[in-house]
């Protein structure tokens, strides 16, 4: 694939070197990856000084929504215990101890950082002019769509990215707009609990944690109380969709029967952090009882240690089911366990469960889901598949997806949190697996869903030699095989790329944890491929088929493009102290929550 930006970056490097060393510049814009300050975590502080300069900070007050969600009189009030654990006073070091890069390397990374910021600026400017206060921009037509209750999902989701990138004017314009959002009115009669939690509540908490502006906290409390109303049920379990009008009445909501396990499993971080910043235990208490159900059922499933893809919260049944994955429908349930352990620590029994659940699921996944694919080269990689429990026992389905690519970073994080080198090494191999999938396809981007051939033998994670005959047999057995697929891949079942962040998320975490410069180079190769293939007049669009060059685009750009994908790319090339993994934990929408330190 032609790298249309390579020459542009070469020129940029020369300019950046000259500007960086010979002209005065604002500290907020001069990160230069690898120039980490080991003690004072100066990058985040430098941005804060710039962004909170009193001369450029307008007074913004929250407009009260048309309905006060804290006024709901619950028919089934959740229990108010356990109380929030005491703040953690000591945590293991997560990030690598970075030292200064050479001037030439600094200049290259600075040019890359600025190029990511340029792409973000273009998307943001188009959203501002074409879709302001709407949920998402349509990047080809310039139209807009409201798919998440009409509360300006892209705007709220992008607040912390604006802050991290030092875009002060745009940030305060966005905050002023957020202050007017009416969370008492929705464009849809049913509000999605999962999406509202990770995008809106997560976005507001992170923007508050970074900036300290009370208007963001006030709006976060409004959304938190709205979501808390979803726990007004007979059994204390949250609903998957909140009936807006019924929730206002307080008469009680009916918990759905079957839901994807990720939905109830992805509330812990947001509710726990909201309790921490407000001092109100009710949010933590509600989600703690929810996660007790998963804790108690973890070893009683068909694949002990993991939960099925679908659960039945109306019966508090997280055990029944025979399909297991860390991919779509289940992913962030697993993601939040080590991250909750990082946020809450292991001081008391109510929070210690997160470390226990983390270790148990990680051991189970390593033993059952991860496999070394048979590939022509000698790369030491792992791919995460799926498991079905059949009559004769567990059966590996060697199908993976882009959504599964978060797992490499999560295992690396778990390796540092729990002092486990096997987790860390496994995470690196999984992240390399997704990077391998990216570079294998014509566009330099991996497909949404694909199949590979597992290495034979009892140890699925052991690298094996390429066997062309076996590959041909396996490929021929797949109805969706296409002859132009890269060797090793037997399908691209869903050949789209919809601007997803999971692969670059893991690359970012491996860079920050290991300090190995290969991860930055991997990130840049990925960014060039994505930016080139998805570019439109207004922003960036999903593409139909990553297996061919010049694929048609879709008029589709979800808020996670600016909230997650571009943020992770940016942080790969920014100062390593900016959003340090020792100071923040990121939710599944890449929103950084500050880790309390007990001081």
Q: Does residue 389 belong to any structural domain of this protein?
A: yes
What Cα–Cα distance (Å) separates residue 462 from each residue in 398, 429, 455? 15, 11, 7
Q: Which residues contact 526 (CB under 8 A, 6 or more apart)?
A: 435, 438, 444, 445, 503, 504, 507, 569
Is residue 298 domain-resident? yes
**Residues of the domain holding 128:** 6-594
Instruction: Determine if residue 279 is left, alpha or beta; phi over 0 gives left, psi from -120 to 50 gives alpha, anything else beta.
Output: left
Contact 309, 323 (CB under 8 A): yes
Give the pLDDT confidence score for residue 36 in this predicted structure: 37
User: Among the options 209, 401, 448, 558, which is catalytic?
Assistant: 448
Listed in order, strand segments (DSSP E) in 120-262 are 136-137, 144-145, 190-192, 241-243, 258-260
**Does a cis peptide bond (omega within 30 degrees of 0) precede residue 199?**
no
Flag whether 1 is in a domain: no
In the predicted model, residues of the chain with pLDDT beneath 70 are 1-41, 346-351, 598-599
Give pLDDT, residue 597: 82
Cβ-contact 303, 365 below 8 angstroms? no
Question: Tell me, what's the pLDDT at 348?
Answer: 61
What integer pLDDT is reported at residue 588 of this predicted model?
98
502 flagged as catalytic: yes
Please state the φ and ψ torsions of residue 386, each to the nearest 5 degrees. Answer: -120, 160
For residue 404, give the CATH number of its domain.
Answer: 1.50.10.10
| C-beta separation of 416 from 92 below 8 A | yes
Structural domain contains residue 599: no
Among 502, 505, 528, 583, the one annotated catalytic:
502
Active-site residue (options: 101, 331, 474, 575):
331
Show the tokens assigned to 443: 């566009």
The 3-state DSSP class for residue 393 equals strand
Give the DSSP H/E element, type plus range, for residue 354.
Answer: helix 349-368
Domain count along the chain? 1
DSSP 549-584: TTPPB-S---THIIIIIHHHHHHHHS-TTTT-TTTE
Q: How far is CA 542 from the centre of its chain?
A: 18
Q: Residue holding tokens 């030491």?
A: 380
What does the radius of gyration of the chain's CA atoms come to, in whole angstroms?
Answer: 23
> Token pair for residue 225?
């109380």
Decide: helix, strand or coil at residue 585: strand
Query: Is 364 within any annotated ligand binding site?
Result: no
Tokens 């997280």, located at residue: 318
Measure the CA–CA gap between 439 and 448, rounded to whole angstroms.
Answer: 14
Structure tokens given for 338: 């080590």
Q: What is residue 78's DSSP assignment?
A: P
Structure tokens at 509: 């975490």
- Please report whether residue 473 resides in a domain: yes
| Residue 288, token pair as written in the block | 């703690």
Neighbours of 457 (CB within 10 A): 10
Query: Rounded to an integer, what distance in angstroms lies between the CA atom of residue 46 and that of residue 37?
Result: 12
Residue 497 Rama label (left phi>0; alpha psi -120 to 50; beta)? beta
Q: Would you tell me how many other CB atoms lie within 10 Å of the CB of residue 526?
A: 24
d(CA 196, CA 186): 12
What does the alpha-carbon distance between residue 91 and residue 582 come to, in Å, rounded to a whole number? 8
Instruction: Give the residue from 164, 24, 194, 10 showing the smallest Cα distance to 592.
Output: 164
CA 253 and chain centroid, separation: 29
Known catalytic residue at 222: no
Q: Per the domain annotation, does 527 fall within a domain?
A: yes
The half-sphere exposure of 405 on its side-chain side, counting CA atoms within 13 A, is 29
CA nearest to 348, candidates 415, 265, 288, 300: 288
Distance CA(527)–CA(5), nearest Å, equals 10
Rounded distance between C-alpha atoms, residue 6 and residue 13, angstroms: 11
Euclidean distance between CA atoms 160 and 485, whole angstroms: 38
Q: Judge whether 448 counts as a catalytic residue.
A: yes
Q: Which of 298, 421, 432, 274 is nearest to 357 (CA)?
A: 298
Contact between 13 and 108 (Cβ < 8 Å): yes
């Amino acid at each position: 694939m032609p790298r249309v930006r390579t020459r542009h970056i070469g020129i940029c490097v020369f300019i950046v070197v000259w500007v960086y060393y010979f002209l005065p510049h604002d500290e907020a814009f001069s990160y230069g990856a690898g120039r980490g300050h080991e003690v004072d975590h100066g990058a985040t502080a430098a941005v804060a000084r710039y962004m909170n300069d009193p001369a450029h900070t307008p007074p913004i007050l929250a407009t009260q929504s048309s309905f006060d969600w804290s006024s709901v009189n619950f028919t089934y009030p959740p229990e108010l215990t356990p109380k929030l654990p005491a703040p953690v006073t000591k945590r293991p070091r997560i990030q690598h101890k970075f030292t200064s890069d050479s001037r030439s390397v600094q200049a290259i990374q600075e040019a890359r950082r600025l190029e990511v910021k340029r792409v973000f600026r273009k998307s943001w400017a188009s959203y501002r002019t074409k879709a302001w206060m709407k949920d998402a921009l349509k990047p080809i037509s310039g139209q807009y769509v409201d798919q998440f209750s009409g509360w300006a999902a892209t705007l709220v989701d992008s607040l912390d990215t604006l802050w991290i990138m030092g875009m002060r004017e745009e940030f305060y314009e966005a905050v002023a707009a957020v202050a007017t959002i009416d969370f008492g009115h929705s464009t849809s009669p049913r509000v999605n609990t999962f999406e509202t939690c990770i995008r809106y509540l997560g976005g507001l908490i992170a923007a508050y944690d970074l900036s300290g502006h009370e208007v963001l906290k006030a709006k976060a409390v409004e959304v938190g109380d709205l979501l808390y109303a979803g726990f007004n049920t007979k059994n204390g379990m949250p609903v998957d969709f909140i009936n807006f009008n019924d929730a206002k009445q307080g008469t009680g909501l009916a918990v759905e029967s079957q839901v994807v396990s990720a939905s109830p499993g992805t509330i812990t971080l947001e509710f726990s952090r909201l309790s921490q910043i407000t001092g109100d235990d009710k949010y933590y208490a509600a989600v703690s009882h929810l996660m007790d159900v998963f804790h108690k059922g973890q070893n009683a499933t068909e694949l002990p240690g993991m939960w099925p893809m679908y659960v039945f919260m109306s019966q508090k049944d997280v055990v029944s089911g025979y399909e297991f994955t860390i991919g779509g429908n289940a992913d962030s349930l697993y993601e939040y366990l080590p991250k909750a352990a990082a946020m809450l620590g292991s001081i008391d029994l109510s929070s210690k469960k997160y470390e226990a659940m983390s270790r148990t699921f990680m051991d189970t996944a390593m033993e059952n889901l991860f496999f070394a694919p048979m590939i022509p080269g000698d790369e030491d990689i792992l791919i995460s598949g799926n498991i079905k429990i059949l009559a004769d026992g567990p059966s590996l389905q060697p199908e993976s997806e882009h959504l599964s690519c978060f797992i490499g970073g999560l295992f690396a994080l778990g390796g540092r949190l729990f002092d486990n080198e096997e987790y860390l090494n496994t995470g690196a191999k999984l992240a390399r697996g997704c990077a391998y999938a990216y570079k294998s396809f014509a566009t330099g981007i991996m497909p949404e869903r694909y199949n590979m051939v597992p290495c034979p033998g009892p140890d699925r994670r052991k690298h094996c030699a390429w066997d062309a005959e076996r590959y041909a047999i396996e490929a021929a057995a797949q109805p969706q095989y296409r002859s132009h697929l890269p060797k090793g891949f037997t399908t691209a079942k869903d050949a789209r790329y919809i601007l997803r962040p999971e692969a670059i998320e893991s690359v970012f975490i491996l860079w920050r944890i290991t300090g190995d410069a290969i991860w930055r180079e991997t990130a840049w190769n990925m960014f060039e491929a994505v930016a080139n293939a998805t570019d439109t007049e207004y922003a960036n669009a999903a593409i139909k088929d990553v297996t061919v060059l010049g694929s048609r685009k879709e008029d589709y750009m979800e808020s996670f493009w600016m909230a997650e994908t571009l943020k992770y790319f940016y942080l790969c090339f920014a100062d390593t102290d900016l959003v340090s993994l020792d100071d923040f934990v990121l939710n599944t929408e890449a929103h950084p929550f500050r880790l309390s330190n007990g001081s």
